[in-house]
Every structure is written in structure tokens, then in C-alpha cells.
């Protein structure tokens, strides 16, 4: 059993979907669970629909949704022949559900509506793709993952109920494979035990694929992306970036922690627990080997560069010239936890605590206001945070040449520079 996950970019248009079929043909002998994201930027577009609806701009919400409908109907029209009518009918059912919701007045939380509406992106794309594959002779069955992934009702960031989901997989998914080689389903979404739709957090389809991998005991999980594999730097910023053929789970977690946008960080745990390799492959050129992530410790990795732009540094000075001790530190962590802010770097000296966080206007304002009850607060903006894993003194010097270093933090494996 293999799990294949196709992200938004790999199902973005008619040509990409045809390519997806070609990729499946390369693996004729395997049972495959195919996990699909919403097409291209559909999730962003649906977010705008929810926002307009929630702000009481109903006509605008309906209009924005109309556009999304048309895009999907057009894609279906180009791809489908014999199953065109049946697929349109299924899409129309989903459309109607959303439109009903949009005609109501919002009475519940934003996050609740977000999930009821945004979840359809994955339902649309997977419906079209499943039909297309069947027309191409790639027999598969479509299944609604909301009947499989049972979650809590933490809307927009729902947690999976492992026990119930495992049972659903055993009862509802495993039997499909007696008859079909391929089951097509959605990433990113699930449902509560009251059948309310939920989402697992933006970019959560990687995680969905990993959960399927874990619960189905897959031989591996492959994420098909528009890059050649996982690179040691963003090739748009570092033209000399190279693909790393092999990584350990730990290394990938570290990279994600420092801000590399490669794989959703929640993806690793379910795979690591069962020692299931994660493979990142290029859907534009499936012959490329891509990157394999597994348990092995990999020696001689090149320096890995991660840059986070838009950083803010909070300088928190103790008011009475007392040393920064456990009380001040614990107050700071408490504030961060309260505001749900993850610090990217923290450094302490005698009378100052320095905290680097993503520059989000609202959060910084709130944090600074709360912290000013105990500290004198100064905020510095417009910084960037450079992290180098497996650095050498030369690479570090080269990368920071000509820049002003506001802060530096160093361990044997990792060096970080906050740069102005
Ligand atoms: N479609 C969702 C998103 O764009 C989930 C995903 O792509 O993984 O966030
Ligand atoms: Mg995506």
C-alpha cells in the first residue's frame, strides 16, 4: 500500500490533472490511497467567501463563490466526456450546500463557518479527478474523508480522534481495496461526530496523508510537489541550492521548526512512529529521485539555509534594574502561551529579555501592551532571521557579509542571525 498526496499546485489545471493520471500509471502494481488538495489557490478564494459572508456581505460572498463554481465546472468540462453529467450533478450538490449556508445569517463562530465552507475545495477537486481517472481506465473509488476522519470540534485546527478514525478506516476504507486498487479522497478535512465539517489547519493535507499512512500501515507516503525534492535553501533566493536525496525525520523537524516551508510539521510524527518513509517527489519529472525522509542519520548534509522575513524583536527591560530571573522569564512564557505566539528566538542578558517573533501587527501590539505591565518595552521591526544548520564559519561569514547582526545564537549544529 502506498499513499500519494497531490497538493494544490499538482492539480492546478487540466494539464496537471492529466499528469497525475500518468504518474499513477507508473505504479500499476500497488494499492494506492490518493489524497488530494484543493486546486491551486481555491482555499484562499474560499476564505474570502467566508469572510464576506461573516461580515454580512452576502451578495459578494455569493459572487465570489460563483467564480469558484465556474472554475471547477470548466475544469470538469475539459477533462470529462462520459461521466461529465454525473460529475456536474455531484458538484452541483456540493454547490447547493454551500449556497444554502451563505443564505443564512451567521449566528455561530467564524471558525465554524470557515470549516463548513472552506472544506468544499477538496471535495470539488477530488470529485473531478476521481471521475477523470475512471474515464482513463484508472479504476478507483471516491470516498468522502469526512466519513473517515473523526475529529474534535476545534474548528480550523481540528484534532483527529485516532481510535474512531482507525475503526472507520478498518470498516470503510480497507474493504474498498478488495475491489479497487485506488481510493481517492481529500486531504485537510474531517468531521465531528455530529457531522459538522472540520479542517486540520492550512496546508494540512500532508498531515492527512501521514495519518492514512500510519493507520493503513503503508509502505511509504509520497508527497508530489512542484520541486525536485527538498532543497537545502530556497532556490529563488539561493540559485546554488541543491536537492538533498536523503534526510532523517529529525532533520526535517528541525528545518520546519526554523521556518523552512517544506512539509507540514505535523506530518512527521505519524510516520516516524511507524517508521514509514516519507518521499517528496517532483510531479513535473517523476523520473527524478526526489528526497527520502526516514530514520537513518544522514552524514555530510550540506549547510541548510532558512530565512524568515518580517521579523520583529521585542526588547523587554526590567523596570527596577533587577536581574532577569525566573519570574520575568516565566511571565514572558506565560504571556506568549496566552496569546498563542511562538517565539522564533529568545535571548536573555542581565536586565533585558529579547524575543524575536513574526511581525504580526495585532499580536505584537497585544504582547507589547501586556508585557509593559512588567517591563519597559521597545519594538524593532523589519528584521530577518537567518538560520544555518550544519554551518561552517565560512558559510556563516559569507551569508552575513555587509549586514548588521542584531542578535546571534549558536549551537554545535545551528547558528541563527537576526539581521537588519
Ligand atoms: N487546501 C488546503 C490549503 O491550501 C490544504 C492543503 O493544501 O494542504 O491550505
Ligand atoms: Mg496547498
pLDDT tens digits, one per residue of 158-217: 999 999 999 999 999 999 999 999 999 999 999 999 999 999 999 999 999 999 999 999
Ligand 1 centroid to residue 266 C-alpha, Å: 14
- Check residue 122 and give its pLDDT: 98
Please indicate whether residue 188, judged by its CB atom, sits closer than 6 Å to ligand 1: yes
Q: What is the pLDDT of residues 208-266, one digit of tens each?
A: 999 999 999 999 999 999 899 999 999 888 889 999 999 999 999 999 888 888 888 89
Please indicate whether residue 7, judged by its CB atom, sits closer than 6 Å to ligand 1: yes
Q: What is the pLDDT of residues 111-164, one digit of tens each?
A: 999 999 999 999 999 999 999 999 999 999 999 999 999 999 999 999 999 999
Q: Whose CA is nearest to atom 8 of ligand 1?
A: 203
- Check residue 31 and give its pLDDT: 97
Please indicate whether residue 38, judged by its CB atom, sits closer than 6 Å to ligand 1: yes
Q: What is the pLDDT of residues 360-416, one digit of tens each?
A: 888 899 899 988 988 999 999 999 999 999 999 999 999 999 999 999 999 999 999
Ligand 2 centroid to residue 11 C-alpha, Å: 10
Q: What is the radius of gyration, based on Cα positions, of the chain?
A: 24
- Check residue 237 and give its pLDDT: 87
Secondary-structure breakdown of the chain: helix, strand, coil percentages, each rounded to the nearest 5: 40, 25, 35
> Which whole number is the average pLDDT over 413-420?
96
Please indicate whether residue 115, judged by its CB atom, sits closer than 6 Å to ligand 1: no
Confidence check: pLDDT of 299 > 90: no
Nearest to 186 by CA among 217, 216, 212: 212
Which domains does the chain carry? Answer: 2-226 (3.40.1160.10), 304-419 (3.30.2130.10)
pLDDT-derived band at 318, boundaries 50, 70, 90: confident
Phi then psi dihedrals of residue 81, to 5 deg: -120, -75
- Check residue 358 and give its pLDDT: 94
Q: Yes or no: say if 118 and 47 are a contact pair by the CB < 8 Å rule.
A: yes
Alpha-helical (H) ranges within 170-229 are 176-179, 205-216
Q: Whose CA is nearest to atom 3 of ligand 1?
A: 203
Q: Yes or no: say if 416 and 387 are a contact pair by the CB < 8 Å rule.
A: yes
Question: Would you state the torsion angle of the CA atoms of residues 203, 313, 418, 240, taken in this order, to the nearest 10 degrees?
Answer: 30
- Interacting residues of 289 by C-beta distance below 8 A, sequence separation 6+: 229, 245
Ligand 2 centroid to residue 305 C-alpha, Å: 23
Q: What is the pLDDT of residues 63-92, one digit of tens each?
A: 999 999 999 999 999 999 999 999 999 999
- Check residue 261 and give its pLDDT: 83
What does the angle CA 159 – CA 164 – CA 170 come to, to the nearest 5 degrees?
125
Q: Which atom of ligand 1 is nearest to the CA of 206?
A: 8
> Which whole number is the average pLDDT over 31-52?
98
Confidence check: pLDDT of 322 > 90: no
Residue 418 CA to residue 407 CA, distance in Å, equals 5
Which residue out of 6, 43, 48, 226 has the highest number of ligand 1 atoms within 8 Å of its CB and is therefore the one to mutate? 43
Q: What is the mean pLDDT of the chain?
A: 95
Residue 23 CA to residue 286 CA, distance in Å, equals 7
Ligand 1 centroid to residue 324 C-alpha, Å: 42
Ligand 2 centroid to residue 205 C-alpha, Å: 7
Q: What is the pLDDT of residues 1-32, one digit of tens each?
A: 999 999 999 999 999 999 999 999 999 999 99
Amino acid at each position: 500500500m502506498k499513499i500519494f498526496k497531490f497538493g494544490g499546485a499538482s492539480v492546478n489545471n487540466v494539464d496537471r490533472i492529466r499528469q497525475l493520471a500518468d504518474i499513477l500509471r507508473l505504479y500499476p502494481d500497488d494499492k494506492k490511497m490518493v489524497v488530494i488538495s484543493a486546486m491551486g489557490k481555491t482555499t484562499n478564494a474560499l476564505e474570502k467567501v467566508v469572510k464576506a459572508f461573516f461580515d454580512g456581505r452576502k451578495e459578494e460572498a455569493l459572487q465570489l463563490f460563483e467564480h469558484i463554481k465556474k472554475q471547477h465546472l470548466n475544469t470538469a468540462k475539459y477533462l470529462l466526456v462520459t461521466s461529465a453529467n454525473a460529475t456536474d450533478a455531484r458538484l452541483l450538490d456540493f454547490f447547493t450546500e454551500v449556497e444554502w449556508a451563505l443564505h443564512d445569517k451567521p449566528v455561530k463562530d467564524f471558525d465554524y463557518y470557515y470549516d463548513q465552507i472552506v472544506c468544499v475545495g477538496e471535495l470539488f477537486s477530488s470529485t473531478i479527478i476521481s471521475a477523470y481517472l475512471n474515464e482513463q481506465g484508472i479504476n478507483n473509488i471516491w470516498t468522502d474523508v469526512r466519513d473517515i476522519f473523526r475529529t474534535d470540534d476545534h474548528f480550523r485546527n481540528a484534532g483527529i480522534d485516532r481510535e474512531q478514525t482507525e475503526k472507520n478506516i478498518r470498516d470503510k476504507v480497507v474493504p474498498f481495496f478488495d475491489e479497487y486498487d485506488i481510493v481517492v479522497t481529500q486531504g485537510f478535512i474531517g468531521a465531528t461526530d455530529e457531522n459538522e465539517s472540520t479542517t486540520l489547519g492550512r496546508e494540512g493535507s500532508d498531515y492527512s496523508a501521514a495519518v492514512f499512512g500510519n493507520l493503513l500501515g503503508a509502505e511509504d507516503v509520497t508527497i508530489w510537489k512542484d520541486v525536485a525534492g527538498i532543497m537545502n535553501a530556497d532556490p529563488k533566493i539561493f540559485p546554488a541550492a541543491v536537492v538533498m536525496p536523503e534526510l532523517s525525520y529529525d532533520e526535517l523537524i528541525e528545518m520546519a521548526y526554523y521556518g523552512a516551508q517544506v512539509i507540514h510539521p505535523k506530518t512527521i510524527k505519524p510516520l516516524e512512529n511507524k517508521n514509514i518513509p516519507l518521499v517528496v517527489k517532483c510531479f513535473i519529472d517523476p523520473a527524478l529521485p526526489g528526497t527520502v525522509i526516514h530514520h537513518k542519520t544522514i552524514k555530510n548534509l550540506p549547510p541548510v539555509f532558512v530565512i524568515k522575513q518580517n521579523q520583529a524583536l521585542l526588547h523587554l527591560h526590567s523596570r527596577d534594574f533587577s536581574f532577569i530571573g525566573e519570574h520575568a522569564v516565566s511571565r514572558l512564557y506565560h504571556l506568549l502561551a496566552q496569546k498563542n505566539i511562538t517565539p522564533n528566538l529568545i535571548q536573555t542578558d542581565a536586565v533585558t529579555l529579547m524575543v524575536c517573533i513574526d511581525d504580526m501587527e495585532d499580536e505584537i501590539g497585544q504582547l507589547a501592551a501586556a508585557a509593559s505591565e512588567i517591563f519597559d518595552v521597545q519594538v524593532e521591526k523589519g528584521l530577518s532571521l537567518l538560520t544555518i544548520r550544519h554551518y561552517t564559519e565560512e558559510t556563516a561569514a559569507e551569508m552575513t557579509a555587509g549586514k548588521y547582526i542584531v542578535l546571534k545564537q549558536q549551537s554545535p549544529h545551528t547558528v541563527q542571525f537576526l539581521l537588519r
